[in-house]
Chains A and B, each alone.
Chain A
């Protein structure tokens, strides 16, 4: 039995996800060591206020990453509007203005797939409330690369479409209400996760 650690968390969501994050982010204590990238669908033309919203909730520093921003421990990175956010294998962010994917830019699939390629089994992906199916494919990628997958349980999510679509593709995803997801993420940093020998 080998110990496997999580080095990075990616979180995606759409309508209803801000409320879920209000329950999740305060559960992460000061000094929490893992970096988190949070991507919510937003109208493309308005400046995003998410950084301020999350700063009020979280005990960790919150910022919008620039292109090539190195990924630092214990920081919450919020995807800026009108760009795709990607993770490079050298542990930095990249941005792109490639066309929208499933009508979305930023796209959760794009973030999750690139993060899965960069972090493999050391990644945890979380998909929250939302009214479309973005993220389902990305979460599947994370699971295939050996990472951990969570969804907000469709029964308690404000809009069930997004987590339900993901569960359909990724049966192994762990499903829980937002408040419990916060506790689960808090614990990820504390204990290396045992991996069954195959």
Chain B
């Protein structure tokens, strides 16, 4: 069955309501994929229309938490796109080494895998002791999962392959303990990461860091919101510091492009001028 697509007005009214009641701003999100996720939310939450969903979300905070699960995409992996992490290790780490203390920001960290992947690279390169990683997201449940650092063990065969492709020196098993069907990440990794709530849509820069990694988050924003978010990222990277994006994200279409040079074009790693 093909459900009727919600009108622009219905969609705008829902997002306005969510913004005013819960202060989550989805109004500048890329529309095509947002509409798809909204359609599955309607099915799962058994709402006949967007209007009905809006009424329920306004009346019940619990319904909003469920909707949030659909409006955002909580998909991540350890060492997703191994060549990115290899380039961080080979091209960015040598620069970071020159600093007595290092700050990193992972923006849109979802359930934490990207931040932990970087922590593992930094540990192997002997930098973790002097590194602080801020990892932020708007999704409270994901931040809880990220903070716990416990993942399904059956994902680790694939993660180990990616770890090796990313230039891992030893064995991924050095960084977790297996317990029943779970993998518990090393406490040392967790201690170097500070997870907290931050929105690229509504908040501003909160620190100046040597490296910002923001992968597969900007794809969910429309062009104006991307410009805003990239502005926040730019404000957070120190001079000559680095900004890493997802494999299909680019500064090519952004007015902020001239603030950066392309450090590793094939892995979308930029350096602040």
A residues with a Cβ closer than 8 A to B are: 64-70, 80, 83-84, 86-89, 94-99, 110, 113-114, 117-118, 137, 140-141, 144
Contacts and interface: CB of A to CB of B under 8 A. Distances in A.
Given A66-B252, A68-B253, A99 B75 contact: yes
A86 B248 contact: no
Interface in B2-37: 2, 5, 30-33, 35-37
B250 A144 contact: no
A94 B32 contact: yes
B220 A96 contact: yes
Contact of A95 (B36, B219, B226): B219
Contacts of A64: 248
A95 to B, nearest CB: 5
Nearest to B254: A68
Given A117-B5, A141-B2, A67 B219 contact: yes
Contacts of B33: 84, 86, 94, 96, 98, 114
Interface of B: 2, 5, 30-33, 35-37, 73, 75, 216, 218-220, 222-223, 226, 246-250, 252-253
Contact of A66 (B35, B75, B248): B248
B32 A88 contact: yes
Contacts of A70: 253
8 contacts: A64-B248, A66-B248, A67-B218, A89-B32, A97-B216, A110-B36, A114-B32, A141-B2
Contacts of B75: 97-99
Nearest to B5: A117
B246 to A, nearest CB: 8
Contacts of A65: 248
Contact of A96 (B73, B222, B223, B252): B73
A67 B32 contact: no
Interface centre among B32, B75, B253 (most CB of A within 10 A): B32
Nearest to A144: B2
A152 B67 CA distance: 40
Contacts of B220: 96
Contacts of A118: 32
Contacts of A86: 30, 32-33
Contacts of A117: 5, 32, 35
A88 B34 CA distance: 11
A96 B2 contact: no
Nearest to A111: B32
A87 B31 CA distance: 10
B248 A137 contact: no
A84 B32 CA distance: 11
Contacts of B247: 80
A180 B75 CA distance: 41
Contacts of B223: 68
B31 A89 contact: yes
Contacts of B246: 67
A45 to B, nearest CB: 8
Contacts of A69: 253
A58 B189 CA distance: 50
A187 B71 CA distance: 41
B249 A67 contact: yes
A127 B30 CA distance: 26
B73 A98 contact: yes
B160 to A, nearest CB: 13
A195 B220 CA distance: 37
A97 B72 CA distance: 11
Nearest to A70: B253
A147 to B, nearest CB: 14
Contacts of A99: 73, 75
A83 to B, nearest CB: 6
B216 to A, nearest CB: 5
Contacts of A87: 32
Interface centre among A89, A113, A118 (most CB of B within 10 A): A113
Interface centre among A69, A98, A99, A141 (most CB of B within 10 A): A98
A86 B36 CA distance: 10
Nearest to A86: B32
A110 B222 CA distance: 18
